[in-house]
Amino acid sequence: MPTYDFPQDLRDAQLALHQTRAAYEQYAKTLPWSAEPMPGWEGEKQLHSGYRSGKEDSPGYTQEQAAKAADFQARLLELSITVSTHPFWDSVDVGDRVEARMALKHAHEPAEA
């Protein structure tokens, strides 16, 4: 796989995108399953396993939870736009851009020995 000389601001934006997505996913795990109050449900018992899917009632997000989730989503959108529209991509052949994009996603990782 070829190597690319990514500009530092693009590398920084990609790393921030990765870190923000990870933080948002961790935060989302603490939220109720529904943003709006919703009644729970219980599914049919599955044949041969006895498993029964279902959810408890969801109280919905508090105003603070909804605001924090919206902040994360806005930041993710901003970083995604920054990375995907960076002028660096104009210097990469069209046929190589997917490979270069994948390389950027791993550019922050230490090089293998």
Q: Is residue 93 part of a domain?
A: yes
Q: Is residue 85 scored above 60 in pLDDT? A: yes
List of residues 6+ apart from 54 with CB closer than 8 A: 40, 41, 42, 43
pLDDT digits (tens, 9 = 90+) for 42-72: 888 877 887 888 889 999 999 999 999 999 9
Lookup: tokens for 7? 């500009």
pLDDT digits (tens, 9 = 90+) for 22-47: 999 999 999 999 999 999 988 888 77
Distance CA 5, CA 39 (A): 52
Q: Is residue 51 part of a domain?
A: no
Q: Is residue 103 part of a domain?
A: yes
Mean pLDDT, residues 97-113 taken together: 88
The amino acid sitting at 31 is L
Q: Is residue 27 part of a domain?
A: no
Q: Is residue 1 scored above 70 in pLDDT? A: no
Q: Is residue 77 part of a domain?
A: yes
Question: How many domains, the chain?
Answer: 1
Lookup: tokens for 66? 């909804």
Mean pLDDT, residues 92-113 taken together: 89
Q: Is residue 75 part of a domain?
A: yes
How high is the pLDDT of residue 23? 98
Q: Hey, CA dihedral for 28, 73, 4, 6, is it positive or negative?
A: negative
Half-sphere exposure of 52 toward its Cβ, with a 13 Å CA cutoff? 8
Percentage, residues of the chain above pLDDT 70: 97
Give, for 12, the enclosing helix (H) or strand (E): helix 8-28
Q: Is the distance from CB of 64 to CB of 90 less than 8 angstroms?
A: no
Q: Is residue 6 part of a domain?
A: no
Distance CA 54, CA 11 (A): 42
